A and B are shown apart, each in its own frame.
Chain A
Amino acid sequence: MNISMQDIKFYDCRVMEGSSTSVVLDNGKIEEISRNFTKGAGIRALCGGSWGYTAVEGDINLKRGVEAASKLAFSMNANTHKEEVELAAVVSPEVKDLPEVRIDPRDIAIEEKVSLLKSIEKHAKLEGVQSTKVMYFESEFKVEYRNSEGLECDYELLNVGFSVSAVASENGVYQAGRESHFGYGYELFEKENVFELAEKAGKNALELLKAKTPKGGEMPVVLDQELAGVFAHEAVGHASEADLVLEGDSILENRIGEQIASPLITIIDDPTLHEFGYYPFDAEGSQSKRTEIIRDGVFNSYLHSRETAAKLGGSPGNCRAQSYSIPVVRMSNTFIDNGDSRFEEMLEEVQNGMYLIGSRGGQVNTGEGIFQFNAEKGYLIKNGELADLVRDVSLSGKTLEILNHVTLVANDLKMTAGRCGKAGQLVPVSDGSPHIAISKALVGGA
């Protein structure tokens, strides 16, 4: 095959190097201490309408990497007919306002970390709790980006986090409570009352043992910050990812400027916030920036890579990758913005329905606009007051219907860290919301 670099319109390289540490404490015992050192690169080349991508772990020769990716792009392009890919212009990003790290976790001895984890675990081990698990992780990595347009930039980031879970059982019924938190420096463990979180996990597991499984059906609901955040991320955020829109796999296709939600709803994606989805520039060197996906109920913007921004009109900044994988359009920190209601008003408004709390995850079909989430627990709402605790409850429905059925939005926004999976890649994100009240939703139970 004869390929000249003239055929290659664009190429870029992301070189990454970093290390991570994890410690797992299980029922009072260290179950795992592991360290990983990693190094590698992901290289893209564009020829006409086709991308070639080469990822290499370990020590790499960038020149050869670019050649390999170029070859892939060239033969793809020679074998298929496709319109040329255009890329929205970007300028050199400013790397600023990185999260401050006061205490570098690498300066803390592993013994000290282990003893902290043991104290955290003790607090989760309330009477009646059978087993507990605490996980700690820290990671530091450096990303260097450069492309054929002359852009060169880099940053280093450090993450620290932990999770605690407790399991309680009674008469063959098992219930778990989980809490987690993360930050950018080891001061996380000073700032947050981690022992309180651990106790909360234990308490939750114990309470859930006593909870009932409710009858499902259509009813008015109140969602807590975490579950409403999952809704914002899963149901709305994914459908606003421009690559899915271009695939014809989003109900939000051709909806910009339309009123698609209650005017109370504003949904934002903001990678500049120092939450778990933070980044100073994305995997294409685009400056990170705040995007209003929905403003006062009106669909305002998709989330873009350089390619989708050029195609649909918009600005890039949401193209991300897990380590050496190919970058795709992703969310960062996604949330429903604060309204001005209070939680008590919501109970009053709902009168009889359900208050759903927390999330055990969920899934969404962006093409049909259907979603399903499982709450951690809930309370029946009877005559405007919280009543019985319930478990094994889920929420499902049509994204656009739910958005339109929002009747109240509180002013108590809270973010939760997590990892989002798409195209086989996990990236750190956070999502959040204030409490929201919805006039009608399908709740699944026994």
Chain B
Amino acid sequence: MYELARKALKMAEQAGAEEAEIYYAANHSTGVNFKKDSLENARDYFSEGIGIRAIVNGAVGFASTNSVAELENTVKIAVAEARVRENDPDWVGLPSNGKYPQVSGIFDKKVEAIELEECIGYAVELVEGTKEVPGTFPTSGGFNRSKGKRLILNTNGIETEEESTAVSAFVFVITANGDTSTAYDFAVSRSLDIDFFAIGKNASDLALKSREGIKIKPQKTDVIFHPFAFSDILEEALAPSLDADNVQKGRSGLIGKLEEEIADPELCIYDDGLVEAGIETSSSDDEGVPSQHSTVVENGVLKSYLYDSYTAGKAGVKSTGNGSRSSYNSPPSVGLRNFIIDYPQEDLIASTSSGVFVNTIIGAHTANSISGDFSVEARNAFTIKDGALEKPVKSLMISGNAFELLKNITGAGFDVRKVGGIITPSIRVSGMSVIG
């Protein structure tokens, strides 16, 4: 299919497209998964496909396929769809600047070369890690590695090709006897720098420590969110409001807030497609716009929304390189790149006299993505007393608002973690409403 990408671009022009874009993606991933402590299956996935955007009279049509036999038909349909649509006055054009920055750390030859036996070895290490902690056992988990290739071509001269690798490991554990408690841990990386044994052990430690949770009184208190919990809230309750498409359509809680103070003055947030070895790092975004480092919040002040080329054209600004696709079969839309939370770091638990530490949350996706309101169930939560974790809390509901939360941040830990593309330390927020 790769060989046909250039041909498909020509076909689109011949079919009457004024502008056209070919997005080719191929991926091969291998995973080894376990249930309890026994390896259950090994999986190999091969995917490859092409997505076509065709523009006629300022209107865009999109079609995709993974079948060579259907390619020509698919190209024609993309053009025919564009013809159905009325001229879109907000359409400016496909990207044209093809000068790309150098990025590093996103392709690891070793990951590409891993044999199945090695994958099995890493999965076994995850399981062994959980066994280090008596009284717990893994319920499920696995190791996965993947290699991807992406090619973007358009009629404005964009041509960019990139290969990347990724490995991931995850493990879910449960306590064996007495009070039931669960926990999980995971890591995603571009190379094999993951300590698989430690991931298994961490999860088991946490499950064991979470047993016999107490009830606490409904109150307003300091809550420290572990990077897992905090990134969930950012992604579901804050990120949608930074999406320029939502801003332009009246669906963002940050409309009209540019250059306004929206957060604690010590908070900075960056969106960065260039981070060394970042999960969202790439020389360009998914429509061929060069990746960049964008300041989203500087010292508490909102500096920029996030744009793909369409929303940027509509607003008369430059794309921030946030054109993103989940697959070759979807057209681009605005998505986060590496999203970095920066706040002065300290020994966070030690500097907290009383409050709650929350490792993970469930239900973040139920947040109101416009108003920023959320109500989530905290898991593996602990009370904090005099600068130390005190007792596990069985069940805890945390309600709040993402925008209020930004203003009430009072501290960050040293434990910066890459949770997929979100890079954040633990964050302390004052005055959170909790019901135990």
Contact = CB atoms under 8 A, between A and B. Distances in A.
A255 B352 CA distance: 43
Interface stretch (A150-158, A180-188, A365-373): A365-373
B279 to A, nearest CB: 16
Interface size class for chain B? 35 or more
Given A80-B38, A243-B35, A59 B117 contact: no
Contact of A80 (B47, B86, B120): B120
Contact of B182 (A58, A130, A249, A324): A249
A363 B363 CA distance: 5
Contacts of A247: 35-36, 139-140
A217 B215 CA distance: 13
A367 B174 contact: yes
A377 B174 CA distance: 34
Contacts of A69: 44
A75 B30 CA distance: 13
B68 A58 contact: yes
Interface stretch (A33-41, A140-148, A427-435): A33-41
Given A29-B88, A53-B42, A243-B35, A38 B433 contact: no
Given A374-B375, A392-B375, A39 B120 contact: no
A79 interface: yes
A73 interface: yes
Interface in B21-75: 32, 35-36, 38-49, 59-70, 73-74
Interface stretch (A167-175, A191-199, A291-299): A167-175
Q: Among A81, A167, A176, A249, which residue has the most Cβ atoms of chain B within 10 A?
A: A249
B38 A49 contact: yes
Nearest to B38: A82
Contact of A367 (B65, B66, B139, B362): B139
A374 B47 CA distance: 36
Given A73-B42, A80-B38, A372 B250 contact: no
Nearest to B41: A51
Given A111-B84, A374-B375, A446-B433, A35 B64 contact: yes
Contacts of A59: 67-69
Contacts of B250: 130-131, 167, 169
A18 to B, nearest CB: 11
B42 A51 contact: yes
Interface of A: 26-27, 29-30, 32-40, 49-59, 68-69, 72-73, 75-76, 79-82, 110-111, 114, 130-131, 167, 169, 172-176, 216-217, 243-244, 246-249, 251, 324, 326, 360-365, 367-368, 370-374, 392-394, 396-398, 442, 444-446
Lowest 6 CB-CB distances: which A-B pairs, in order?
A374-B366, A51-B41, A372-B377, A174-B370, A363-B362, A34-B62
Given A58-B1, A172-B253, A249-B182, 4 more contacts: A131-B249, A248-B137, A394-B363, A446-B399
